[in-house]
Amino acid sequence: MSDSAAPLTTADGVPLKVSLRRAVRRSKLKALLLVSPLLLFLGIAFVIPIFEMLSRSVANPEVSTHLPRTVAALEHWDRQALPDEPVFEALVEDLREGQAARNLGLLASRLNYERSGMRSAINRTARGLGSMEPPYREAMIDAHTRWGELDTWKLIEREASPFTMTYYLSALDRQLTPDGDITMAPDNQQIHVSLFWRTFWMSGLITLMTLLLGYPIAFLLANLPLRHSNLLMILVLLPFWTSLLVRTTTWIAILQSQGVLNDIMVFLGVIADEARWQMIHNKIGTVVAMTHILLPFMILPLYSVMKTIPPSYMRAARSLGGRPFLCFRRVYFPLTIPGIAAGGILVFILSIGYYITPALVGGQSGRFITNYIAYHMQTSLNWGLAAAIASILLCVVVVFYLVFNRLVGVDKVKLG
């Protein structure tokens, strides 16, 4: 009786449960070591950049870092009149320190984003600090009129916080008043919201165009004899072997006013020579070029799904008296919806993130919001605004994905 109740052990006397737990831990450790390079790569190339982008979109260290004395002196300011002499004296000391360290450019740019003219106010005042003497209040106002304006000091006090939402407000064509109220930006500065809408509807149009063009091609690939379908597949994959820049510039040569397409139309008498079509550096150029570039990303998911549909389904539907179009609509088309969903979400998300092609062929009317992200990163150097726009774009893509998963279901998507 005692022998039957004794715990089971391995050959070396270790209890079986303990041995099994050790084996499971070793298996999990081996699996973790195998995937650790991938996890490290994802962390470095994906997670860290996104975290950096999100943090930069709300980071606001310039005023608190470069004007610490001024910020401390403004803590008890009543905001009803210009600050007293100690605040001006603190500002002079901060500017002198920043002038010696040569780091006033960041402060000037940050304040200039919020109120035009602040860069010149800081730079001009900094150049005259050597000869400036007390009382500093009158001397600072004489150096630049901005220091005599109440809104300037409200701005400095507001931007003293290490975090800000002004980048997101600017990305949505809003701004903060000196008193902290949210208002619409001036009409000549309201560009980002319209660019967001343009990006979304043009990406949707490009997705629809790739579906209309790619569906028949994928159908032929799935139903032609092997020797013909292989040749057609090579033609579909040929753009992948050509540089994106080459494909885009080729469309410039084809679509421009003196390009190949207009020359053919004039030669055939379709249009007059003085009435050539303007198909480049506008929305048409962007849609045409990006539809061609993204077409394989629609064809391949469709083909992978259509190839798995047995031809006997359509023959059975025809034998039951169905007309060809009815058989296609009721039998074949519903079976291809997973491929349509996969190609649609792939093309839509890719088109939202494109910026090289719209920059080259889109002109002013065919550019996407991504072009302005590149502009703020490379030209205006307003990285906070660029990060805010990119963060909004990321959130919109995530929302689209969640809605897609709710309506269609990601588990039904087939890429191959």
Average pLDDT over residues 29-48: 89
Q: What is the pLDDT of residue 5?
A: 60
Tokens describing residue 182: 């949210």
Rounded Cα–Cα distance for residues 57 and 377 (Å):
12
CATH 1.10.3720.10 assigned to domain 192-412? The reply is yes
Compute φ and ψ for 311, nearest 5 degrees.
Answer: -60, -20
pLDDT digits (tens, 9 = 90+) for 288-308: 999 999 999 999 999 988 888
Closest CA to 83 of 136, 127, 145: 136
The model's confidence at residue 6, banded by pLDDT at 50, 70 and 90, is: low
The total of other beta-carbon atoms located within 10 Å of residue 318's CB is 14
Compute φ and ψ for 64, nearest 5 degrees.
Answer: -65, -30
Average pLDDT over residues 343-353: 90
pLDDT digits (tens, 9 = 90+) for 202-238: 999 999 999 999 999 999 998 888 888 888 888 888 8
* Sign of the four-CA dihedral 171, 177, 183, 189: negative
pLDDT digits (tens, 9 = 90+) for 369-394: 999 999 998 888 899 999 999 999 99
Q: What is the pLDDT of residue 337?
A: 87
SS3 351: helix
Average pLDDT over residues 147-172: 92
Average pLDDT over residues 105-125: 91
Strand partners, 182: 176
The model's confidence at residue 187, banded by pLDDT at 50, 70 and 90, is: confident
Q: What share of the chain is helix, strand, coil (3-state, %, to 5)?
A: 75, 0, 25
Rounded Cα–Cα distance for residues 231 and 215 (Å):
17
Spell out the residues 6+ positions from residue 311 whose beta carbon is closer than 8 angstroms to its own: 223
* Sign of the four-CA dihedral 127, 130, 132, 136: positive
Q: Measured at the alpha carbon of residue 325, what is the angle toward residues 319 and 327, in degrees to the nearest 5?
A: 40
Q: What is the pLDDT of residue 1?
A: 45
Query: What string of DSSP letters covers 141-193?
Result: HHH-GGGG-HHHHHHHHHTTSSB-SHHHHHHTTEEE-TTS-EEEPPGGG--HH
Cβ atoms 64, 161 nearer than 8 A = yes
pTM of the complete model? 0.84
Q: What is the pLDDT of residue 414?
A: 57
Domain segments of the chain: what residues? 2-47, 62-162, 192-412
